[in-house]
Amino acid sequence: MRVGFIGDIVGRPGRKMVRHYLSAIRAEEELDFVVANYENASHGFGLSEKNARELFGAGIDVMTGGNHTWDKKEIKGLLETMPLLRPANYPEGVPGRGVRTFEVGGERLAVVNIMGHFAMPMVDNPFICANRIVDALEAEGVENILIDMHAEATSEKRALLMMLRERVSAIMGTHTHVGTDDLVVDKGCAYVTDTGLTGCRDNVIGMDAKVPIERFLTGLPGRFDVPDKCRAVLQIVVMEFERGRAVEAYKIKVYSEGEKEVALKARIEE
């Protein structure tokens, strides 16, 4: 099973990169399934129905959320009608779900969305929640398990790897928008602390630089804005799973100028 994972898609530039390049990547890399994070897809804040349909039409199979999941009111209905996840460790009774299992080429693949604690909204303990979910999936005989760990703290993401690396196929970090260079396959689990954004690469975490700079200089709040035009990038981690174990992982970057590179290859650690 070959799976692609795209981190935070930020605004129109990110959606445009997915729309223009994902179809070719799916074909060239022979991907069976693509997961992406949607929480910044609609002008940097949440996901609208129009943009959800646009991204699914571009070749994404399921999308995960995070702390901006609820920024658009319509998301509550979309979580019930589309293959969209929100963090599983929101309290009981919150709309939507944090886990879905899919049939992919005669195998089952579970996609799990978890959110960290540090600098995040109030949610249940992510580690206890993740353990319970993996226990339940193992009891159902699901071998292929991919987790989107949406967290600010690198330590939380790394700790989840140490806890679950022999039980899940992949843990892909999202949220900071800044890609890290620690892609690894550790005891059969593909892991990267942060996948990096898909969107503007010449600004501040995909947003126009003016407001963030002013905020750092003065401490005053301001509304972040996604530029309409910028130099953009699509970042996708390509993984191959065999019987629930990752055997290969590498990151591809595609630039708005048309260039493509294999940016990272996983170090295999047993």
Catalytic residue positions, numbered: 68
What DSSP line would sit under 82-101, residue for residue?
A: SSB---TTSPTT-SS-SEEE
The SS3 assignment for 80 reads helix
CB neighbours of 253 closer than 8 A, spacing ≥ 6?
233, 234, 235, 260, 261, 263
| Phi, psi of 200, rounded to the nearest 5 degrees | -65, 130
Longest dimension (CA), the chain: 56
Expressed in angstroms, the distance from the first to the final Cα of the chain is 21
What DSSP line would sit under 178-194, residue for residue?
A: ---S--EEETTEEEES-
